[in-house]
Amino acid sequence: MANQIEDQNPQETSAATAEGAGAGTEQADALDAMRREKDALQDRLLRTAAEFDNYRKRVERERRELSEYAGADILTDMLPIVDDLERALQTPAGADSDSYRRGVELIHKQMTDLLRKRGVKPIEAVGTQFDPRYHEAVMQEVSEDHREGEVMAELRRGYTLGDRLLRPAVVKVAKA
């Protein structure tokens, strides 16, 4: 083997060494390029994660503010009704009961109008078939005038907001 090295032309030996060195330089350059690309991708990942976190926080804050705004809006609409109730309570005890009743009816109308304006609808229960999605049966009574499972009486009115149930109607149901 030593003879082979000695037999080689010194120019061939230096060319082989340069070729090996060139290959090492190319590998080092490729490795550096990969490291730079990895660092760039990692930086992009961190920036994207930070942007997403900021977006999530902003959406949560906006949702909370919207909820507070909606709550404040409906409370503001209720204030005149509270004022009317306070005036009704300040009426002397010996006042005319008919005018007192008309005042309470007016307040009730204001409240139902406000609820209707906000999309709240009462559930019509009496005379309908019992539906556990909208009714809560607290009593059953045998009745020949009503069909089995028919709502005979409404003990507390139920309400919906759009398709969402706010409160089920509390009802008495006919039993055969």
Q: Which two tokens stand for residue 76?
A: 């503001």
Q: What residue segments make up the domains of the chain, in order of their start?
A: 122-176
pLDDT at 2: 47
pLDDT at 94: 67
Rounded to whole angstroms, the Cα distance separating 65 from 52 reads: 20
* pLDDT per residue of the chain (176 residues) written in tens, 0 to 9: 444 445 555 555 554 555 555 677 899 999 999 999 999 999 999 999 999 999 999 999 999 888 877 777 777 788 788 888 877 777 776 667 777 788 888 888 898 888 888 889 999 999 999 999 999 999 999 988 889 999 999 999 899 988 889 899 999 999 87
Rounded to whole angstroms, the Cα distance separating 166 from 4 reads: 96
Q: Is 150 helix (H, G, I), strand (E, B) or coil?
A: strand
Domain range 122-176, CATH class:
mainly beta
Rounded to whole angstroms, the Cα distance separating 162 from 123 reads: 11
Are residues 125 and 171 in contact, defined by beta-carbon separation less than 8 angstroms? yes
pLDDT at 24: 77
> Which residues share a beta bridge with 122?
159
Quote the DSSP letter at residue 140: E
Residue 155 backbone phi and psi in degrees, to 5: -90, -30
Q: Which two tokens stand for residue 64?
A: 């909370």
Rounded to whole angstroms, the Cα distance separating 25 from 59 reads: 51
